[in-house]
Amino acid sequence: MKILEKQILSDDRGTRVIRMKIFSKDIPLKAKAGQFIVLMANEYGERIPLTIVDKGEQDITIIFQEAGLTTKLLGKLNVGDSLYALVGPLGHPTEIENYGKVILVAGGVGIAEIYPVAKSMREAGNRVVIVLGARTKGLLILENELKNVSDEFYITTDDGSYVRKGFTTDILAELLKKDKYDLVYAVGPIPMMQKVAQVAQDFKVKTVVSLNALMVDGTGMCGCCRVSVAGQTKFSCVDGPEFDAAQLNWEELAKRNKIYSEQEKHICRLNIK
């Protein structure tokens, strides 16, 4: 679990996004696009899920934004340090097949999550269209990597600091008006994914979303990541993390994701040593 490489991808107004390569002999043997790991940076940190962005023969790559206690603790580790705990791969892999033409939409750190999916979709013979969104140019990540695995590539920024001002859903609607697509796949903030689902539903295009619901153990025991899908209770960690967007109870999901917001604000104000 030793950190082999560490790279700061962005540091915009004090918000750092970091890429780490971590030694692991076993996880790369099984890991597939869409799966994740759960880690603890040290004995004082929480268990948090992070997508497996890439893998080598004996290593995995993760990307995270310093936001809460554990990601800040993780960000303080350097090459040569080791994680306290690491388990994976967890969750179901993305259903990869030759759908035809697919649009992958990602916002914020969700951009990291679509990279392995985009690679796998293209290898399966799909025409891959990628739409990325970030608050500012400084928070945009993996631009070149995703360009290399896409057939069409679009960028929006909330403040207009790079390429086009607007939202990913603006471009999605334009693309769906102009042509027929077989699948939309989205990762990012819950409001963004919900809007993507609404836009795609207007054009009757199946939409899959990868949920970043709260998780603790990652094995279905704690029940923290439960979501309602087609009226049934599911768990993001063992039944997902990907679900049919049209079947999700988005209102419930948004409420559950904010359930510990006050506690998180308190923890994030603690001094980290």
Taking the C-alpha atoms of residue 116 and residue 33, their distance in angstroms, rounded to an integer, is: 5
Query: At 44, is the pLDDT very low, low, confident or very high (cuts 50, 70, 90)?
Result: confident
Q: Last residue of some domain: 69, 90, 111?
A: 90
Query: What is this structure's pTM?
Result: 0.90
For residue 26, the model assigns a pLDDT of 95
Q: Residue 248 and residue 250: Cα distance in Å, rounded?
A: 6
Does a structural domain hold residue 224? Answer: no
Domain that holds residue 69: 3-90
Q: What is the pLDDT of residues 183-221, one digit of tens each?
A: 999 999 989 999 999 999 999 999 999 987 667 777 777
Give me the half-sphere count of Cα atoms (radius 13 Å) on the Cβ side of residue 271: 1
Contacts of 211 (CB under 8 A, 6+ apart): 225, 227, 236, 240, 241, 242, 243, 253
**136: Cα separation from own chain's centroid:** 18
Question: Does residue 193 share a domain with residue 155?
Answer: yes
- pLDDT confidence of residue 225: 78
- Do residues 169 and 203 both lie within one domain? yes
Domain count, the chain: 2
Helix/strand/coil for 52: coil
- Beta strands 3-12 and 15-23, pairing class: antiparallel
CATH (domain of 61):
2.40.30.10
Does one domain contain both 47 and 73? yes
112-161 pLDDT, tens digit each: 999 999 999 999 999 999 999 999 898 899 999 999 999 999 999 989 88
Same domain (yes/no): 47, 17: yes
> 138 and 78 in one domain?
no
Residue 238: CB partners within 8 Å, gap ≥ 6?
90, 91, 219, 220
What gap in Å lies between CA 159 and CA 141, rounded to an integer?
16
